[in-house]
Amino acid sequence: VLALGMLTALRKMLALINSRYDQQLTIATIPQEDSRVYQQLQTAYSMGIFQIESRAQMNMLPRLKPRTFYDLVIQIAIVRPGPIQGDMVHPFLRRRAGLEAVDYPSDEVKSVLERTLGVPIFQEQVIKLAMVAAGFSGGEADQLRRAMASWGQNGHLTRFEDKLINGMLARGYKQEFAERLFKQICGFGQYGFPESHSASFANLAYVSSWFKTYHPAAFYVGLLNSLPMGFYSASQLVQDAQRHGVEFLSADINLSHWDYHWLPKEDTSSVETVRMGLRQIQGVSETRIIQALNERPESGFASIHELRQSGLRDSDISALARADALQSIAGHRHQAHWQSISISDQQMPLFAHVKDQPARELPAPHESENIKADYESTGLTLGRHPLALLRNSPELKNCVMAKDLITCRSGQVLTLAGLVTCRQRPGTRSGVTFLTLEDESGNSNVVVWAHTARQFRQCFLTSNLLWVKGIVEIHEGVVHVIAGRLKDLSSLLSFSRLESRRFH
């Protein structure tokens, strides 16, 4: 049984839409082949979308440009080690773009490969080719299928080489075609998709993309309430939502639910608004928080004393205070934390009847202090991005923002900086690591070759805030920066350094 977290997220999205609009929408009744959905996908607007949210898939979307459901089936299957190792990706893209002629050595081969422009993309095609082009029996083809399923063990496939190549030669196929097909089959030994598997996944990818296109607030709420899953943190998902018009409100013990929830739209506003769920706060007990919410007065809790009476422990109250979720009771996080550490009922029963009385008014935290505390308590901030506070720093002078990379000239030398959110070294590309850097405008993709990684090893491995000097490459809407120099700027993230700048 394959357990997919996206099914949980989709169930929650459907429930939100059906409840909000009094519908009976299901996966089966979502409108099919919607051109707007595909237009969004062609721009790699796919963070959070099932199976096509990885960096490799995002890079492929503007190149393959899916326009139909079957294009999406191919999109999901082609970004796999099998097609990549078998050198099937570039021929398919060239043929799809009309840059290379599509030809078939026989009608039998055409019947198998016509839908994928003469390039085998799926396991079923390889099995059929072995039968129609090399004369394999059904039993022999099944043995080939089992050998392909032993991913990473191409030794199981080499025993079929003579029979495949000799079988094709005997039926009039050229040596070049026979050897190329066997190479492609060996590629599938590194992990490839059956067409049926890819079609099932494409269905979920299309549905999640439809939600992101037409109901973004419901889409992000469904995802955030289903974490952990997928490639992205709550922080990255919230930022992506904000960049696409969804407004987020902070967590509050008197306004939030345990889950993120989608607020009713104001009559005069077109903005979709989501209230952060208390689930995002680190260090609270789900059981005790839900119990307290069930007992929350209609007018809300009036004091920390009432929170204790609802069953919350001091550890829960302290976590809520650190996350700035007690504003409606005790003011800003410094004031709330001061009250949360006052003598508890359990420590001094004589004072159980005394309601909270702050001893003094504490100064409100500065912006940088709030941002630091947000990340420490919830893993994200609804305030400004740390890079926005540092943008005027001399160390970041002349750094290009992520959103402006597409306007640069391919081949241009530039500098950029961002928080390192992903380091990925795929097995299909030896000697290269892909980094994702995040700034206040979005994400940028950085390619670090092995010699650069060795030269700047320490900052390459450990930097939280990385400065990069490199060459921008732009091809078919896909932007990369090829790193030449790296520098660790993580020290700029320390509270004292942020506070000393007080940028405006």
pLDDT value of residue 504:
32
Considering just the CA atoms, what is the radius of gyration of the chain in Å? 28
CATH number 3.40.1360.10 is the correct assignment for the domain at 387-501: no
Are 253 and 339 in contact by the 8 Å Cβ rule? The answer is no
Instruction: Report the DSSP pairing between strands 465-475 and 413-424.
Output: antiparallel
- The Cα-based distances of 341 to 154, 282, 374, 388, 394 in angstroms read 63, 18, 19, 33, 40
Number of H helices, E strands in the chain: 25, 8
Are 448 and 34 in contact by the 8 Å Cβ rule? The answer is no
**What's the order of all strands across the beta sheet hosting 272-275?**
246-249, 272-275, 261-262
- The Cα-based distances of 13 to 10, 207, 214 in angstroms read 5, 10, 12
Residue 59 backbone dihedrals phi, psi, to 5 degrees = -70, -30
What is the C-alpha to C-alpha distance for residues 222 and 226, in angstroms, rounded to an integer?
A: 6
* Structure token digits, residue 426: 């795929």
- The Cα-based distances of 93 to 24, 74, 120, 178 in angstroms read 39, 11, 13, 22
For the chain (504 residues), the mean pLDDT of every run of 10, in chain order, is 87 96 94 96 94 90 95 93 79 92 92 93 88 90 80 66 90 90 76 87 97 96 94 94 94 97 82 96 96 95 93 94 94 87 58 56 87 94 93 92 94 95 74 92 94 94 95 90 96 64 38
How many other CB atoms sit within 10 Å of the CB of residue 35? 9
Please name which of 152, 118, 157 lies closest in space to residue 140, comparing C-alpha atoms. 157
Please name which of 2, 18, 22, 20 lies closest in space to residue 10, comparing C-alpha atoms. 18
Domain ranges of the chain: 5-196, 245-345+371-383, 387-501
